[in-house]
């Protein structure tokens, strides 16, 4: 845990990195986590390999599911996962430890940089936990140079589970993933404030951009 704490301190003073285009305004607040994979660690998966990083509750883990293939270069980018066209059983699993406070609500922001051969084919995303599946709140897709895309999706669940798994998979054709950034926050919700809070955060980001 000590190396992760050092990375968290560095991340607090660092700007957004690479395709971390839409960080939530509550990042680094108490009860939040952030973890970033740019896949520079290679084909084995494992802990986050890029900043920003802050998770005091444990070590996040990436598990690639066969037949996912890691490429050192692909479509003008480096360190890319090729998820191929094999459906929901394939893909990448991201395990995120968390507070486990059942009195709190959980909000999760997922940023994915991806390429598909025939846009706008959507990518497949599932967010699951021991407390049940997360509910999608919103999604915003931004075109990037070279035919790549950046998607921000926001998810929520009425409790704060001890951990969750974000599963990204191809829905059709090939799917290349270059970066993934996951932010979470556990908080005490105001009455009727769950979904509007997520949308308000997205509105604030759009205004900054």
Task: Average the pLDDT over 172-191 and give the result.
Answer: 90
- What is the chain's mean pLDDT, rounded? 85
Provide the pLDDT for residue 172.
78
pLDDT > 50? residue 78: yes
The mean per-residue pLDDT over the stretch 159-176 comes to: 92
Q: If you compute the radius of gyration of the chain from its CA atoms, what whole number of angstroms results?
A: 16
In this structure, is residue 77 part of a structural domain? Answer: yes
The mean per-residue pLDDT over the stretch 132-158 comes to 96
- Tell me the pLDDT tens digit for each residue of 15-28: 445 799 999 999 99
Q: What is the domain count for the chain?
A: 1
- DSSP helix/strand/coil, 205: helix
Q: Could you tell me the pLDDT band of residue 193, with boundaries at 50, 70 and 90? A: low
- At residue 48, the pLDDT reads 98
Residue scoring higher pLDDT (193 or 39): 39
Residue 70 domain flag: yes
Match 């971390």 to its residue by tokens.
Answer: 20
> What is the domain range of residue 191?
2-195
* Residue 74 domain-assigned (yes or no): yes
- pLDDT category, 120, cuts 50, 70, 90? confident
Contact 158, 105 (CB under 8 A): yes
Structural domain contains residue 205? no
162: CATH: 2.60.120
pTM for the full predicted model: 0.84
DSSP string, 22-83: ---TTTTSTTEEEEEE--TT-TT-BS--EEEEE-TT---EEEEETT-EEEEEETTEEEEEE-
> Cis peptide before 74, with omega less than 30 degrees from 0?
no
pLDDT beyond 60 at 178 = yes
- Asked whether residue 93 is domain-assigned, the answer is yes
Judge whether residue 39 has pLDDT over 80. Answer: yes
Is residue 203, in this structure, part of any structural domain at all? Answer: no
- For 141, counting Cβ atoms within 10 Å of its Cβ (0-12 exposed, 13-18 middle, 19+ buried), the class is middle
């Amino acid at each position: 845990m000590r190396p992760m704490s050092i990375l968290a301190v560095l991340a607090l003073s660092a700007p957004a990195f690479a395709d971390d285009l839409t960080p939530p305004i509550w990042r680094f607040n108490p009860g939040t986590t952030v973890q970033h994979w740019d896949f520079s660690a290679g084909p084995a998966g494992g802990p986050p390999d890029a900043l920003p990083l802050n998770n005091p509750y444990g070590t996040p883990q990436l598990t690639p599911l066969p037949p996912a293939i890691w490429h050192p270069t692909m479509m003008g980018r480096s360190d890319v996962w090729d998820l191929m066209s094999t459906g929901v059983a394939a893909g990448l699993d991201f395990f995120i430890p968390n507070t486990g406070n059942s009195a709190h609500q959980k909000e999760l922001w997922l940023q994915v940089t991806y390429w598909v051969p025939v846009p706008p084919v959507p990518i497949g995303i599932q967010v699951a936990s021991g407390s049940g599946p997360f509910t999608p709140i919103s999604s915003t897709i931004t075109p990037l140079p070279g035919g790549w895309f950046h998607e921000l999706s926001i998810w929520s669940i009425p409790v704060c589970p001890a951990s969750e798994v974000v599963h990204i998979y191809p829905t059709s054709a090939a799917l290349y993933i270059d970066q993934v950034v996951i932010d979470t926050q556990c908080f005490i919700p105001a009455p009727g404030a769950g979904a509007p809070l997520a949308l308000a955060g997205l509105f604030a980001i759009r205004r900054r951009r």
